[in-house]
Structure 1
């Protein structure tokens, strides 16, 4: 709850990846209030009143996931909307000639994104979603302590760089509208 709020203000890409983790964390607890309380909320070093607020946040999140029928896989609509907003912003920045560093970073990785998207099939909605899906897959491999090839590691650094740069521009645009045109 607190981490999500902080990440949303500071780095939209980290926020989205964090929400992916929350979705999977809730799935791992089988949407059970008891499991969520015992295995997640009780781990927070806060007073009981705060724990109840945190529990309520997780349970609301779980309820939204159930309503959207994504108990097994997928992302909540508001998470998808965040990625789509970031993609629209990315498209504007790429078309603009005012951010050459971002444009170069994107052009350096564009063919790799196309290749990743082709492997994803129908799940590849847009380039930004491809970036998030790829990076989250790498995160899951690390959590499972599986080996990550040097190529995958290098691509993950490039994807992270692209998302980091678009996040900085996106957050700056939220604070003060950037001159894109």
Structure 2
């Protein structure tokens, strides 16, 4: 199984983060299939599955990005759909799940602050959380440390996304 498909099944937030990362990898490779193949060969562990299948998955994402005009920036429709689905579940859980509401309330101040900082780059609280977690993960991977306030926000966002993913998985079991 391609790692993306496993993540999609087990933890939708991780899948969305994986899609964001894939888009960055593809953009950094300049959509060059040789560079994407090199990335897969050098950075994807053997345990993650068939590298040809993984490469094919990356190439499919690259094709979607081109078809949708997302070569420079933005989210492909597939990514938007999953974030919209999570945003809808967020709204539902805010009305019906007290534990989720407590998690959201702990993150709310950070969400509002980040929403203002992002100047319309994101459309809803779930996107704020996902993009912020992704940005901090990317910073840490590059050897940078986020400011304490951002690190604190991301901790709250991770808790929120974790519970949201758990409830998403429960709802979509089939």
TM-score by length of 2: 0.91
Q: Return the alpha-carbon distance in structure 2 between the equivalents of residues 124 and 153 of structure 1.
A: 19
The alignment yields a C-alpha RMSD, in angstroms, of 1.7
Q: Of the candidates 147, 156, 171, which is equivalent to residue 149 of structure 1?
A: 147
Question: 8 Å contact 1:86–1:170 — kept in the other structure?
Answer: yes
Residue 114 of structure 1: SS of its match in structure 2? helix
Quote the residue 2:40 is aligned against: 40
Q: Which ranges in structure 1 are unaligned for 5 or more consecutive residues?
A: 177-181
Residue 115 of structure 2: SS of its match in structure 1? helix
Question: 8 Å contact 1:42–1:51 — kept in the other structure?
Answer: no
Q: Return the alpha-carbon distance in structure 2 between the equivalents of residues 24 and 32 of structure 1.
A: 13
Larger Rg: 1
Q: Of the candidates 131, 134, 143, which is equivalent to residue 136 of structure 1?
A: 134
Deviation at 1:44, TM superposition (A): 5.0
Relative distance call for 1:42 and 1:109 in structure 2 (3 A) is: closer
Quote the residue 1:66 is aligned against: 66
Question: 8 Å contact 2:40–2:51 — kept in the other structure?
Answer: no
1:141-167 Cα offsets, whole Å, 9 max, x none, are 111111222222221111000000011
Deviation at 1:2, TM superposition (A): 1.1
Aligned residues: 171
> Which structure 2 residues correspond to residues 25-174 of structure 1 after superposition, within 5 A?
25-41=25-41, 50-96=50-96, 99-174=97-172
TM-score by length of 1: 0.87
Q: Which ranges in structure 2 are unaligned for 5 or more consecutive residues?
A: none
Q: Return the alpha-carbon distance in structure 2 between the equivalents of residues 9 and 100 of structure 1.
A: 25
1:79-111 Cα offsets, whole Å, 9 max, x none, are 011000110011011011xx2111111112212
